[in-house]
Structure 1
Amino acid sequence: MEKTKKRSKGNRMTQDIVFNAVIVLLLLFLIVIMAYPIYFVLVASFSDPTYVNNGDFLLYPKGFTLLGYEKVFEESRVWIGYANTILYTALGTALGVFITMMAGFALSRKELPFRNAFMGFFVFTMYFNGGLIPYYMVVKSLNLTNTRFLMIIISAVAVYNIIITRSFMLSNVAEELRDAARIDGCGDGRFFFQIVMPLSKAIAAVLVLYLAVTYWNSYFNPMIFLTDRSKYPLALYLREILLTVSTNAQSSVTSDASAAAMLQKMSQVIKYGIIVVSTLPIVCVYPFLQKYFVKGVMIGSIKG
């Protein structure tokens, strides 16, 4: 009997080891598939254009060069774009987090009149809108076109962010806490700023990351609403630089074959340099928010 139990226990341990090994190998395979394109972009941005254009498998920079970064940073437009993007991202994220937190808190309170109707109206706007032309006409009628103020407020509030904030408030801000604060004479405003906000660091980190990425990568709204080039964000300037390089390479074909070939080579390296320049700053923010972000994105995943 004991031998049978030991044998069955040994079989289970063997099965567990095999299962865990297969899972680890699959996860490592997925990590390589997802991580290598990012790594390739970084390596290619430092590699000689010849190796990049040949499609070589790059594990390390070949023919190390900073040509792509030199071409990107020698443009004064890049520094103007960085300043504008940092301004839009910082102010827009702060405004968006503040408004979203207040909206989520209000919609989580049972005493709010018509809160379900408000929630239904917000959700309706996620699926139905008037289109780009009416949107532009409304913005223009408010005299907000070609203003930095518009770039700050235009992406500050998203219904999805309000929904996850409301869910967090319902799960983590107990009614008993509100009742205890009310007994001590604490009003709604004081309760929100002194109790709810400190308890909501996890969801605030999620909102900061979502909004910061949205603002940092935004180029369509600036392309539609901005005409003053001094107000362009980084993404729009980088798009212009890439289009300029591609256009110059094509126009040089008829005039100078050697110059055209050089521009064609450089265009790929410049493209990868642009990707690194535009994404690296926002990627560096993630490690500081990871602890709260993991907790925040698990909202509603565990019941009971």
Structure 2
Amino acid sequence: MVKRRKKINMESKGDKYFRIGVIILMISFAIIIAYPLWFMVIASISSPDAVLNGEVWLWPDTIDLSGYVKIFNDPLIWIGYRNTILYTLVGTTLSIVLTIPAGYALSRPNLPYRKYFMWFFIITMFFGGGLIPFYFLVSSLGMIDTFWALIIPQGLSVWNMFMVKAYYESNVSSELIEAAEMDGASQLRTFWSIILPISKPIIAVMILFYAVGKWNSYFDAMVFIRNENLYPLQIVLRNILIVNDNSSGGITGEDIYERLKLANQIKYGVIIVSSLPIIMIYPLVQRFFKEGFLVGSFK
């Protein structure tokens, strides 16, 4: 009979205490991060009186969806959702089309004038003309109060492009490109048939980065958009909060309290309404984050 060997525990007492301390610290961090998110959910479905009186901590005192009813009864909410989805889909697609080829081209050491292109992009990261020249530029292009004012000016993020460049420098070897050239593949065919199939992790990461940024963007819409039918969701929700948070019109303390309850209830509902769609997208690309940025090209 084969005797079972006892598993030798090489962990010292100090290592054991350290591991327990790390676990406790990580659990504490998780609670600190997760509790505000959980509180927003329960506060959005609790009665406004209980939230204002500090009676809601871990569970909703009752289920009250009147805040969501008020939010979704506003027709501009649905217009904002439609516009934001269009801005996110079209804008993210354009950004990916620009970022991935640009990052790959800058990663190749044989790119003509590569150093000058690098400096050109780096300068734009640290220096800008300012808001007024930017507004005049967009205006001169005829994009004020148009769909494209929120798409074209923010089409490329230089920071994201450099992330793509670093990915290709680490994962696409010159031998792989030379092998494709020996087989008679052109530069375009090499990029389409060899580079893109091994770029799924970085493309997924870029899609998430761009989509989150465009979904949450509101400043450009404040500057360039005047037509309510072109408002993104964030502007619509901001206007709802401003209208309901303005308690100066109340004559009595009771009126002010009622407005405060309404504004507080809508505030938490607005956060959930604006965040939920993008949170639902994250699990779709989570597995690419697990693969990481350093998936080898010969894998």
> TM-score over 0.5 for the alignment?
yes
- Supply the AA of the counterpart residue of 1:98: V
Instruction: Number of aligned residue pairs: give it.
Output: 288
Q: State the alpha-carbon separation in 1 of the partners of residues 190 and 11 from structure 2.
A: 54
Question: Does structure 1 residue 99 correspond to structure 2 residue 89?
Answer: no
Instruction: Quote the residue 1:273 is aligned against.
Output: 269
Instruction: Quote the residue 1:45 is aligned against.
Output: 44
The CA deviation at 1:11 is 8.8
Question: Does structure 1 residue 262 correspond to structure 2 residue 263?
Answer: no
- Supply the AA of the counterpart residue of 1:121: F
Contact 1:155 1:214 in 2 (8 A): no
- Tell me the secondary structure at the aligned position of residue 236 of structure 2: helix
Q: State the alpha-carbon separation in 2 of the partners of residues 23 and 43 from structure 1.
A: 30
- Tell me the secondary structure at the aligned position of residue 200 of structure 1: helix
Instruction: Quote the residue 1:175 is aligned against.
Output: 174
Q: State the alpha-carbon separation in 1 of the partners of residues 167 and 11 from structure 2.
A: 40
Task: Return closer, same or farther for 1:298/1:272 CA change in 2, 3 Å cut-off.
Answer: farther
Q: State the alpha-carbon separation in 2 of the partners of residues 122 and 55 from structure 1.
A: 50
- Supply the AA of the counterpart residue of 2:47: D
Encode CA deviations 1:2-58: one digit per residue, 9 max, x unaligned: xxxxxxx87943222211111100100111111111111111001110121123351
Instruction: Quote the residue 1:302 is aligned against.
Output: none
Q: State the alpha-carbon separation in 2 of the partners of residues 68 and 154 from structure 1.
A: 36
Instruction: Quote the residue 1:250 is aligned against.
Output: 248
What pairs with 1:183-262 in structure 2 (closer than 5 Å)?
A: 183-247=182-246, 249-251=247-249, 253-254=250-251, 257-262=253-258
Identity %: 41
Q: State the alpha-carbon separation in 1 of the partners of residues 107 and 255 from structure 2.
A: 63
What pairs with 1:66-105 in structure 2 (closer than 5 Å)?
A: 66-105=65-104
What pairs with 1:114-125 in structure 2 (closer than 5 Å)?
A: 114-125=113-124
Task: Return closer, same or farther for 1:120/1:265 CA change in 2, 3 Å cut-off.
Answer: same
Question: Does structure 1 residue 291 correspond to structure 2 residue 290?
Answer: no
Q: State the alpha-carbon separation in 1 of the partners of residues 268 and 293 from structure 2.
A: 31
- Supply the AA of the counterpart residue of 1:250: S
The CA deviation at 1:197 is 0.8
* RMSD between superposed Cα atoms in Å: 1.6
Contact 1:53 1:265 in 2 (8 A): yes
Q: State the alpha-carbon separation in 1 of the partners of residues 161 and 9 from structure 2.
A: 51
Encode CA deviations 1:187-242: one digit per residue, 9 max, x unaligned: 11111111111100111011001100111001100110011110110000000001
Q: State the alpha-carbon separation in 2 of the partners of residues 238 and 12 from structure 1.
A: 54
Instruction: Quote the residue 2:140 is aligned against.
Output: 141
Instruction: Quote the residue 2:62 is aligned against.
Output: 63
Instruction: Quote the residue 2:5 is aligned against.
Output: none
Task: Return closer, same or farther for 1:298/1:46 CA change in 2, 3 Å cut-off.
Answer: farther
TM-score (norm 2): 0.92
Contact 2:170 2:294 in 1 (8 A): no
Encode CA deviations 1:42-76: one digit per residue, 9 max, x unaligned: 11001110121123351111122001111110100
Q: State the alpha-carbon separation in 2 of the partners of residues 168 and 68 from structure 1.
A: 45
- Tell me the secondary structure at the aligned position of residue 248 of structure 2: helix
Gaps of 5+ in 1: 1-8, 300-304
Q: State the alpha-carbon separation in 1 of the partners of residues 217 and 272 from structure 2.
A: 16
Contact 2:47 2:61 in 1 (8 A): yes
Contact 1:205 1:296 in 2 (8 A): no
TM-score (norm 1): 0.91
- Tell me the secondary structure at the aligned position of residue 153 of structure 1: coil
Contact 2:43 2:268 in 1 (8 A): yes
Instruction: Quote the residue 1:33 is aligned against.
Output: 32
Contact 2:45 2:65 in 1 (8 A): yes
The CA deviation at 1:288 is 1.0
Instruction: Quote the residue 1:126 is aligned against.
Output: 125
The CA deviation at 1:263 is 1.8
- Supply the AA of the counterpart residue of 1:103: A
